[in-house]
Amino acid sequence: MTDTQRAVSCGNCSVRRLCLPAGLSQGDIDKLEQITRKKKIVKSGESLFRTGDPFANLYAIRSGSFKSAVIAADGDTQVTHFALPGELLGLDAYSGRVHPSYAEALEDSSVCVLPFSQLETLAQQVPALQQQIYSIFSEELKQENDILMLLGKRSADTRLAALLINISSRYARRGYSASRFVLSMPRTDIANYLGLTAETVSRLFSRFQKEKLIRASGRDVEILDLIGLSEVAGTHCGYEGEG
Amino acid sequence: MTDTQRAVSCGNCSVRRLCLPAGLSQGDIDKLEQITRKKKIVKSGESLFRTGDPFANLYAIRSGSFKSAVIAADGDTQVTHFALPGELLGLDAYSGRVHPSYAEALEDSSVCVLPFSQLETLAQQVPALQQQIYSIFSEELKQENDILMLLGKRSADTRLAALLINISSRYARRGYSASRFVLSMPRTDIANYLGLTAETVSRLFSRFQKEKLIRASGRDVEILDLIGLSEVAGTHCGYEGEG
DNA sequence: ATTTTTGCTTGATTCAGATCAATAACTGCC
DNA sequence: GGCAGTTATTGATCTGAATCAAGCAAAAAT
């Protein structure tokens, strides 16, 4: 076994506790690794899959980050998700056998390729894996509901504050600083995701800085006052999400 | 076997093609029925489950309709879903072992009670059932993405038009008229779901009537001009959803 | 049958965030 | 290092939907 292949194993993956192997025995992880031999590099701005692509694989993010988005009939797009290491992409493609959304790397990223038919077969034999798949689906649904709340009822400042706290706590889970991080997405993507315009997002960044809630320079963000920011977000953690 | 029990069988259920049994062989459906012995009646306004209830069952709607909603830290609620016969409720509770949302009957309704641990075990033995569960999860995610588009970028009239078309096509799938139906939810719920106020929704109903797109009297709705309504919705079917 | 409640509609006014517009800063890239 | 093309900030203005405020209809309660 070469070093390159070793690098793909779950055992030495920094996000194994957040990803599919979570809760599996070593023996089951070995089986999972056997169907996850391929790794894929996706450069910043490139697509992992596009809307309409046939569904064959799920993708587990190893490193980097992605946005996923849907495209309406009129060509308009809506960013639906910012995905970080350990998260799965492509789950919404199962029922239609085609990807209804697309995923694009926000920075140079790498993913594990999971052929779904094989994963399905393995899950049939490994209850813990099946449970983990249900769990990931379910968690995803739960989070979407929280975003619906954000878009349905919340003011612009609340939305941005909630996003910053959410991203912060997700980075923290992955072993990075919760208070200082680099946003991998442009303002336009943040705005689109939050149902706002880039101008409004920019103004809010300025306002949050004036209010000493954050310090921001471009995509570099430092949270100075988590309590204050949480008050703006109207909650005590992300949008009740992961954290 | 009594008549009451017979009534619970999938075989004579009008929505079996949309529900869990879809795609299963008769033998597999029999097995499914064995774990689905209980049926539950939920009266209008009553809860099927509440936020925070421990997760034990999934519920398949036999008749009637439900709204599900999440409650924010400040007590504010967001309606996340209107569920019709054949649809499953409770999927978002799996990962946390607790219901993160609640489900309330919009009219007198009945559901099949599916103990999840037994369903899980059965799915392990019946690949077609496992696939159907994945499919339902996946479909749900897909639809949430379409709602995100609606809430993120669309104007009030577009949102309501899309909802009307979506509900119409879902009724049609269940064998009811696509052009004439009774909304089971009050205006406030429609407004909340669409991220609007009840006043705005009411004004839009009036406007759509003036424009001869619909005829509405309270919750009784008739679609007069599907093409016109689709133009307002900016799409050719529901929010790209089920239809 | 009459009061109370709940749900729906309509009008007047306000405001948060969009839109339009102009710079400014940053990122490659010759 | 300088130029072209993004990406971000800031300002002025506008507008769609919220909010505030009645009034009305239908259903539930007395």
The DSSP secondary structure of B16-73, one letter per residue, reads TTTSTTTT--HHHHHHHHHH---EEEE-TT-EEE-TTPBP-EEEEEEES-EEEEEE-T
Looking at chain B, the whole-number percentage of residues with pLDDT higher than 70 is 93
Nucleotides of D under 7 A from a protein CB: 7-12, 16-21, 26
Distance CA B81, CA A213 (A): 35
Instruction: Look up residue A79 and give its two tokens.
Output: 């960013």
Question: Structural domain of residue B78, as residue ranges?
Answer: 16-143
> Are the beta carbons of B224 and B214 closer than 8 angstroms?
yes
Same domain, A68 and A126: yes
pLDDT at res. B1? 41
Which residue, among B241, B223, B219, has the nearest Cα to B232 in the 3D structure? B223
**Residue at shortest CA–C1' distance from C7:** B186
Residue that terminates a domain, selected from B143, B172, B190: B143
pLDDT at res. B12? 84
Same domain, A158 and A97: no
Q: Is A70 on the interface with B (CB under 8 A)?
A: yes
CA of B64 to C1' of C6 (A): 22
Element (H, E) at B114: strand B109-115
Handedness of CA B238, B240, B242, B243 (dihedral sign): positive
Q: Is the pLDDT of residue A8 over 80?
A: no
pLDDT at res. B11? 84
Residue that terminates a domain, selected from A143, A177, A197: A143
User: Any atom of strand D under 7 A from CB of A218?
Assistant: yes
Q: What's the order of all strands across the beta sheet hosting A57-63?
A: A39-42, A109-115, A57-63, A88-89
pLDDT at res. A11? 83
Instruction: Tell me which chain A residue has its CA closest to the CA of residue B156.
Output: A152
Handedness of CA B10, B11, B14, B19 (dihedral sign): positive
Same domain, A78 and A158: no
Phi, psi (deg, nearest 5) at residue A220 = -85, 120
CA of B112 to C1' of C21 (A): 59
Number of compact structural domains in chain A: 2
Same domain, B78 and B163: no
Which residue, among B194, B164, B193, has the nearest Cα to B180 in the 3D structure? B164
Instruction: Look up residue A139 and give its two tokens.
Output: 């968690």
**Residue at shortest CA–C1' distance from C8:** B202
Same domain, B41 and B124: yes
> Are the beta carbons of A153 and A222 closer than 8 angstroms?
no
pLDDT at res. B49? 97
Can you list the alpha helix ranges (DSSP code H) found in B60-197? 116-125, 127-153, 156-173, 187-194
Residue B2 lies in a domain: no
Q: Which of A2-6, A30-34, B10-14 has the highest mean pLDDT?
A: A30-34
| Geometric angle at alpha carbon B25, from B19 and B31, rounded to 5° | 75
Distance CA B43, CA B57 (A): 19
Q: Read off the CATH number of the domain in which B102 is found.
A: 2.60.120.10
CB-CB neighbors (< 8 A) of A124 in chain B: 124, 127, 130
Instruction: Look up residue A73 and give its two tokens.
Output: 């009939």
Same domain, B227 and B171: yes
DSSP lists the bridge partners of residue A66 as A83, A105
Distance CA A172, CA A60 (A): 19
> Are the beta carbons of B87 and B109 closer than 8 angstroms?
no
Residue that terminates a domain, selected from B143, B167, B201: B143
CB-CB neighbors (< 8 A) of B126 in chain A: none
Instruction: Tell me which chain B residue has its CA closest to the CA of residue A92.
Output: B138
CB contact under 8 A, B142 and A92: yes
CB-CB neighbors (< 8 A) of A72 in chain B: 149, 153, 234-235, 240
Q: Which of A205-209, A231-235, B80-84, B158-162 has the lowest mean pLDDT?
A: A231-235
pLDDT at res. A7? 52
CB-CB neighbors (< 8 A) of A136 in chain B: 95
Residue B239 lies in a domain: no
